[in-house]
């Protein structure tokens, strides 16, 4: 599809006969099995084995996405939902709930501060690397005003998010996405910049970011959005695995 990445095929006999990778997709509702849209959308974790197979990588993917959770809950369930599988590789994507303001409950601050969000991402990355697992961080996908409930909530609570601007719902999320980029750089782990990729897709003529988000929702990726996430992720995994398997001089 337009704007998607094409995974590179790892080379050599070793790649073809390597054991399957045990991969855990660790995130919130944008990772979790779709149970909200009524469309039974295949999420990126569902699609990943097939896309990896097309570039010569066998992978067994466990979906550890859980709706309405932050990196704080991620730390609490790390052993149960991730380490339990003894993964070779863990994909981490959080941020929408961490940055969200529960204005309908009278709150005016994000659920987690940016400092806690960064600290939690560092903790998750370091703990998994210490186990010998490889880590890929993903930035959260951007959102758009679409759900009339949230639009009304923030219109009646002025000064929190800009409801007049199309990107206003991302006022805080943009900052948390940058935090994820910074942590990936600090921890020297690969990054899939979903946030940037979605914005770039929507900026091309004849395309809209709304195509990548569930209609009437504006938060969770649509089938097309999930496919784009999967293709970006598979390309990154293929690149990392290819580099890792290259013989050293």
What are the tens digits of pLDDT across the range 62-112? 999 999 999 999 999 999 999 999 999 999 999 999 999 999 999 999 999
User: With pLDDT > 70 as the criterion, what percentage of the chain qualifies?
Assistant: 89
pLDDT in tens, 168-188: 999 999 999 999 999 999 999
Q: Could you tell me if 82 and 129 are in contact, meaning their C-beta atoms sit under 8 angstroms apart?
A: no
Rounded Cα distance, 147 and 60, in Å: 35
Q: What is the tens place of the pLDDT at every residue in 44-56?
A: 999 999 999 998 9
Give pTM, 2 decimals: 0.91
On the question of pLDDT at 42 being above 90, the answer is yes
Please tell me the predicted confidence (pLDDT) of residue 5: 52
The pLDDT > 90 percentage for the chain reads 85
pLDDT at 187: 98
pLDDT of 19 higher than 90: no
Contacts 24+ apart (CB under 8 A), 151-155: 153/103, 153/104, 154/103
Q: Are strands 89-93 and 134-138 parallel, antiparallel or unpaired?
A: parallel
Token digits of residue 112: 């987690």
Q: How far apart are CA 37 and CA 47, in angstroms?
A: 17
Give the pLDDT mean for 29-37.
83
Across residues 124-144, what is the average pLDDT? 98
Give the span between the Cα atoms of 127 and 138, in whole angstroms: 17
pLDDT of residue 98: 98
Strand partners, 162: none
Higher pLDDT, 19 or 159: 159
The vertex-56 CA angle with 50 and 60, nearest 5°, equals 50
As a whole number, mean pLDDT of residues 196-214 equals 97
Residue 233 confidence (pLDDT):
98
Whether the predicted pLDDT of 15 surpasses 80: no
Residue 200, both tokens: 């770039």
What structural domains and CATH numbers belong to the chain?
13-243 (3.40.50.1110)
| Mean pLDDT of the chain, nearest integer | 92
> How much is the pLDDT for 1?
42
Q: Looking at residue 246, what is its pLDDT?
A: 60
In three-state form (DSSP H/G/I as H, E/B as E, the rest C), the secondary structure along the chain is CCCCCCCCCCCCHHHHHCCCEEEEEEECCCCCCCCCCCCCCCCHHHHHHHHHHHCCCCEEEEEEECCCCCHHHHHHCHHHHCHHHCCCEEEEECCHHHHCECHHHCCCCECCCHHHHHHHHHHHHHHHHHCCCEEEEECCCCCCCCCHHHHHHHHCCCCCCCCCCCCHHHCCHHHHHHHHHHHHHHHCCCEECHHHHHHHHHCCCCCCHHHHECCCCCCCECHHHHHHHHHHHHHHHHHHHHHHHCCCC
């Amino acid at each position: 599809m337009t704007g998607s990445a094409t995974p590179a095929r790892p080379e050599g006999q070793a790649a073809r006969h390597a054991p399957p990778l045990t991969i855990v997709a660790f995130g919130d509702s944008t990772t979790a099995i779709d149970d909200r849209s009524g469309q039974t959308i295949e999420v990126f974790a569902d699609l990943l084995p097939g896309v990896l197979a097309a570039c010569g990588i066998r992978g067994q993917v466990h979906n550890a996405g859980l709706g309405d959770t932050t990196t704080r809950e991620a730390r609490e369930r790390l052993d149960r939902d991730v380490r339990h599988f003894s993964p070779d590789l863990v994909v981490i994507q959080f941020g929408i709930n961490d940055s969200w303001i529960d204005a309908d409950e009278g709150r005016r601050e994000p659920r987690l501060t940016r400092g806690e969000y960064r600290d939690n991402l560092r903790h998750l990355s370091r703990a998994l690397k210490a186990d010998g697992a490889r880590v890929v961080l993903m930035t959260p996908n951007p959102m758009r005003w679409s759900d009339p409930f949230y639009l009304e909530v923030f219109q009646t609570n002025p000064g929190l998010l800009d409801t007049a601007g199309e990107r206003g719902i991302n006022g805080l999320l943009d900052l948390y996405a940058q935090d994820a980029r910074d942590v990936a750089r600090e921890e020297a782990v690969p990054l899939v910049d979903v946030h940037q990729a979605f914005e770039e897709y929507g900026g091309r003529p004849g395309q809209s970011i709304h195509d990548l988000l569930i209609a009437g929702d504006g938060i969770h990726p649509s089938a097309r959005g999930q496919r784009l996430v999967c293709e970006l992720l598979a390309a990154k995994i293929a690149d990392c695995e290819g580099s890792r398997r290259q013989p050293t001089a």
